[in-house]
Structure 1
Amino acid sequence: MSMSVPVSAAYGAGSLSLLWESDRPFSLAVSLGILAHGSKDPSVRIGPGVAWLAFSTPGGDATLALSEQPAPAPGSRVLVRAWGPGADYALDGVPALLGGCDDWSAFDDPEFAATLPGAVSRTRRRNPGLRLPSTGRMLDSIVPVVLEQKVTAMEAYYSWRYLVAKYGADAPGPAPAGLKVPPGAGQWRRVPSWEWHRAGVDSHRSGTILRACAAASGLERLAALPLGEELTRRLCSIPGIGPWSAAEITQRTHGAPDSVSVGDYHLAAFVGAALTGRRTDDAGMLALLQPWLGHRQRVVRLLVLSGFRKQAYGPRLAPEDHRRR
């Protein structure tokens, strides 16, 4: 059970606050880490027990500051402070953001847990506070996911960092230096072609982002749709967004517990090596994860958190410099 209660203390001009409480463990860093696109994401700051997020809402820009508070075991408490014209909207989304609706009871049931690989079970015991966040912010997830298509993570993180730092708005309130609200649809559409080029973004990916921005109002309404084929179909109706992108997006917007990123350059090989000691392809990965249908993203997240690293073969993939084209 999770709940949010108002907090009367003031934390600066124009601030609002609440205390989110749960009778289950919760870890900010482990749970919200998936929302940061690289360690230098200008819109996210996450440290031990503390997180800062900046984003736009229907009411305007907002900054959230979240900090873990002492709580009776096994429960958890998070103090949430919000600034900016969108503070009310931001606070309304806190329960979903902190995984308040992310139910692990079936996963943690002893009978189901007995079927899990040892690496997954051990990692779950070490990370009882892992939950899958639901941001409900479609465009803020779509843009960085599209930037990650068919390039290295290092390239995609640079592109996101460059564009948000240059075209994002300063986060409202007493935010950390450099914290930015990512551009909205209108601002993304005004980014000059040469700036996409300087950010290392090819025309295919920038074109996909601009098409998504043209349909932004409809895409934002998808946050109210439940997980399922209809949601995926509507996301994939935007040319350039396919099953891999839809999976990556809904993992963040809807906290999708079963969403697997088929088509990922590394994931299938990683899952295969972690579970069997041998690399595999997408079909092999899905076959390996089949026993845990309904919880496959939970299994993948725990495998990532386990610290397992697959053996590397051959030279590392060298990033391509699109700016020299």
Structure 2
Amino acid sequence: MTIADAPPRVAAAADAAIRWHPGRSFRLDQTMFPLMRGNADPSFAAHSSGYWMAFTAASGPVTLRLSGGGLGAGSFVDAQAWGPGAGEAVAGVPRLLGAGDDWSGFDEPAFHATLPRLVTESRRRNLAVRLPSTGRVVDTLVPTILEQKVTTLEARRGYRYLMYRYGTAAPGMAPAGLLVPPTARQWLAIPSWEWHKAGVGPQRSATVMRALQSAVALERLAQLDSTEAGAKLQTIPGIGIWTAAEVVQRTHGCPDSISVGDYHLASYVGYALTGRKTDDAGMIELLKPWQGQRQRVVRMLYLSGFRKPTFGPRMTVQDHRHH
């Protein structure tokens, strides 16, 4: 059954369901956006009926549907889930949607007075956003490793190829084509030639394999604070500050980590805050006054609608499949 067949029966058909009250204005689309690997992510689907995602919880695979939001203290999100992991998934919805994401320090008048107008105006218009926290390290780490030192287009193309080959159909009432990402054991079983066909170079595939040898330990990182989790990730050869930051931003809702080494971020921050391009060192210096809240500042810059100039060289898309 597809979503369009009978959306009114979704709640009744679910294996588990809850209604979560954020307690203030809430935007589901803005909160979920960082978790999607582009509009064609096989494990996500955005429909008029809500946001759908598929993953493997500790108790098994699950399809999770989220809908709702709204203005003021009366806002709510409805969550329905199907599959062996349904109960666990709906219990984790508050954390997933940022229940522990506290903006009070950021919103203090004294702190706001230190921020550029572009950031304060963006925050004024985007009071309903929260930083999500999935708690699922493996599901976040693998596609992040695939994005190391390549274009987003190339990385997502490779991820989709591997998902279509090794992902499994989402359980229950799921949109057509929604897939559960491979488990750590399934990723480890992918032969080298399939990584090659996906356009994933040997350095990145080896990093995935090396990291997932300790998959149980990786998932335990979700119970640590984001700083400690990021530091432990960086003890794995092939995982540096950029990868660790990209992971804890999603798994922990980290309000401070910034993606040093990103191909676009430093120049974007430089243009947004000074009108000039800068490098990683310059970006760190620019954001230094807001240590502890730097990721929130970056998020507000992105939500401001600011676009940096598009002139200059572009990163070349590499195709490893024919090498």
Report the TM-score when normalising by structure 2. Answer: 0.94
What does residue range 255-274 of structure 1 map to in structure 2 within 5 Å? 255-274=253-272
Per mean C-alpha deviation after superposition, the further-off stretch among 302-311 and 173-182 is: 302-311
What does residue range 163-312 of structure 1 map to in structure 2 within 5 Å? 163-228=162-227, 230-312=228-310
Shift of 1:49: 7.8
Large movers: runs of 4+ above 6 Å: none
Shift of 1:286: 0.9
* Aligned partners of 2:27 and 2:69 also within 8 Å: no
**Aligned residues between the structures:** 315
Shift of 1:304: 1.1
Change (3 A) 1:70 1:31: closer
Q: Deviations over 1:206-262 (max 9, x none)?
A: 00111111110111111111122x322211121111111000000000000000111
Map of 2:84 onto structure 1: 85
Shift of 1:126: 1.5
Map of 2:124 onto structure 1: 125
Output the CA distance in 1 between the equivalents of 2:301 and 2:48: 21
Output the CA distance in 1 between the equivalents of 2:11 and 2:311: 52
The letter for the 2-side match of 1:20 is W
Q: Deviations over 1:50-93 (max 9, x none)?
A: 2111100110001110000567x244200000110001111121
Shift of 1:162: 1.2
Output the CA distance in 2 between the equivalents of 1:284 and 1:266: 13
* Aligned partners of 2:61 and 2:171 also within 8 Å: yes
Output the CA distance in 2 between the equivalents of 1:174 and 1:38: 23
Change (3 A) 1:267 1:70: closer
Per mean C-alpha deviation after superposition, the further-off stretch among 79-88 and 104-113 is: 104-113
The letter for the 2-side match of 1:316 is R
Q: Deviations over 1:167-202 (max 9, x none)?
A: 111111111111111000111111121111111100
* Aligned partners of 1:33 and 1:46 also within 8 Å: no
Report the TM-score when normalising by structure 1. Answer: 0.93
The letter for the 2-side match of 1:28 is L
Shift of 1:132: 0.4
Root mean square deviation of aligned Cα = 1.6
Change (3 A) 1:198 1:57: same
Output the CA distance in 1 between the equivalents of 2:94 and 2:26: 12
Residues 1:324 and 2:293 aligned together = no
Output the CA distance in 1 between the equivalents of 2:208 and 2:52: 25
Per mean C-alpha deviation after superposition, the further-off stretch among 122-131 and 270-279 is: 122-131
The runs of 5 or more residues in structure 1 that have no matched partner are: 1-8
* Aligned partners of 1:185 and 1:213 also within 8 Å: yes
Shift of 1:310: 1.2
Per mean C-alpha deviation after superposition, the further-off stretch among 79-88 and 22-31 is: 22-31
The letter for the 1-side match of 2:57 is T
- Tell me the SS of whatever aligns to 2:67: strand
The runs of 5 or more residues in structure 2 that have no matched partner are: 1-8
Percent identity between matched residues is 55
The letter for the 2-side match of 1:269 is S
Output the CA distance in 2 between the equivalents of 1:47 and 1:299: 29
